[in-house]
Amino acid sequence: MDILIVDDDPITRLALCAAVEDWGFTPVLANCGEEALTILGEDNPPHLLVIDWSMPGMTGPELCTTLRSRDDGQFFYILMLTGKEGNDAIIEAMESGADDFLSKPFDHRVLKVRLAAGSRIVRLEQTLNQLASRDALTQCWNRRMIDELLNASIAEAQRKQSPLSIMVLDIDHFKQVNDNYGHAVGDTALKHMVNILNNNLREYDQVGRYGGEEFIVILPSTDKDSAWGVAERIRSSLQYHPAHIDSERDIPMTVSIGLAQLNHYGQDSRHSLFERADKALYEAKQAGRNRVVYRSS
């Protein structure tokens, strides 16, 4: 686990760096609060922080207050180090947003167990976040999370004026799979669908289960022609790779796909973009299923 050490004293930083490395952490160093904020604003920032109280510019409590006032949903466990002692210092540190407090000079054994406790809390928070944002069966994003990701993707595409496409997919005749083979086989079919998607998408494409047998895929930096190629690859891959149930059963599957591309010239939103893709999906199913349809309006 990464750990961010924020201290303006180079000797203290190096000593803490050596100690946490011995304890199995990967140290990330910052010499002031401002540098720490830059690091914590990047992708995949450390979530376990050791912050010194007294620093030039932004102090440790001020850094804590700034982090706790953010509304980006990031969780940070913060351990404050200081030469201050007494209940007043502890209260001030905790009120600013620190989770733990350690006075200098400190016993490294105490710091080690405090960080171990902090790392357990970070992992628990990550596990809870995973449970809250993932579909329990397929482990792709759930509806709430994929809606949030789509909103963020639209905002980024509009800011950069870059293309963005989405696919709405529905497994054809899925009810018959449940009726003929049972829900356990239906669950296997859903997981097979997600495996097909993951095998045909880029690392930064996003897959979400929208409900039942319906899925949505977000394709950043992808125009309609490229999205069509991806959709056709997925459709073909599923058609020619049935879901393997056991040594005696393979379940053939097909999928209908609706496509839409973000319109930069209007006031496109998550709702309007999804609505076009959903209408395209409906047209694909009306036209006989196992096909891709694009809708521009």
170 assigned to some structural domain: yes
Rounded-to-integer distance, Cα 252 and Cα 181, Å: 12
Rounded-to-integer distance, Cα 78 and Cα 67, Å: 10
Give the position of tokens 């509304």: 71
Rounded-to-integer distance, Cα 210 and Cα 141, Å: 9
Tell me how far CA of residue 106 lies from CA of 13, 112, 114, 214, in angstroms: 14, 11, 11, 56
How big is the CA angle at 45 (ends 43 and 50), to the nearest 5 degrees?
Answer: 165
Q: Give per-residue pLDDT as tens, 209-260.
A: 998 999 999 999 999 999 999 999 999 999 999 999 887 789 999 999 999 9
138 assigned to some structural domain: no
Q: What is the DSSP letter of 213?
A: T
Q: Give per-residue pLDDT as tens, 42-75.
A: 888 999 999 999 999 999 999 999 999 987 778 9
Q: How many CB atoms lie within 10 A of CB 183?
A: 10
Query: Are both 58 and 103 inside the same structural domain?
Result: yes
Contact of 198 with 205, CB cutoff 8 Å: no
268 assigned to some structural domain: yes
Query: Could you list the active site residues?
Result: 213
Backbone angles phi, psi at 209, to 5 degrees: -90, 120
Query: Are both 289 and 148 inside the same structural domain?
Result: yes
Domain count, the chain: 2
Last residue of a domain, one of 133, 162, 180: 133
Query: Are both 73 and 128 inside the same structural domain?
Result: yes
Query: Are both 164 and 66 inside the same structural domain?
Result: no
Query: Are both 114 and 148 inside the same structural domain?
Result: no
Rounded-to-integer distance, Cα 97 and Cα 59, Å: 13
Query: Are both 108 and 158 inside the same structural domain?
Result: no
Query: Are both 165 and 289 inside the same structural domain?
Result: yes
Q: Give per-residue pLDDT as tens, 274-294.
A: 999 999 999 999 999 999 999
Q: What is the pLDDT of residue 106?
A: 86
Query: Are both 159 and 110 inside the same structural domain?
Result: no
Query: Are both 105 and 180 inside the same structural domain?
Result: no
CATH of the domain at 96: 3.40.50.2300
Rounded-to-integer distance, Cα 161 and Cα 174, Å: 38
Closest residue by Cα to residue 18 from 116, 120, 108: 108
CA end-to-end span of the chain: 47
Judged against a pLDDT cut of 70, whether residue 266 lies above it is answered with no
CATH of the domain at 232: 3.30.70.270
Tell me how far CA of residue 92 lies from CA of 58, 65, 87, in angstroms: 15, 11, 9
261 assigned to some structural domain: yes
How big is the CA angle at 225 (ends 221 and 229), to the nearest 5 degrees?
Answer: 95
Query: Are both 105 and 151 inside the same structural domain?
Result: no
How big is the CA angle at 47 (ends 43 and 52), to the nearest 5 degrees?
Answer: 115
Query: Are both 121 and 158 inside the same structural domain?
Result: no
Rounded-to-integer distance, Cα 60 and Cα 66, Å: 10
Q: Give per-residue pLDDT as tens, 123-142.
A: 999 888 888 899 999 999 99
Is pTM beyond 0.75 here? Answer: no
Judged against a pLDDT cut of 90, whether residue 35 lies above it is answered with yes
Query: Are both 126 and 154 inside the same structural domain?
Result: no
Longest dimension (CA), the chain: 75
Last residue of a domain, one of 133, 166, 183: 133
Q: What is the DSSP letter of 107?
A: -
Domain containing residue 46? 2-133
Last residue of a domain, one of 80, 101, 133: 133
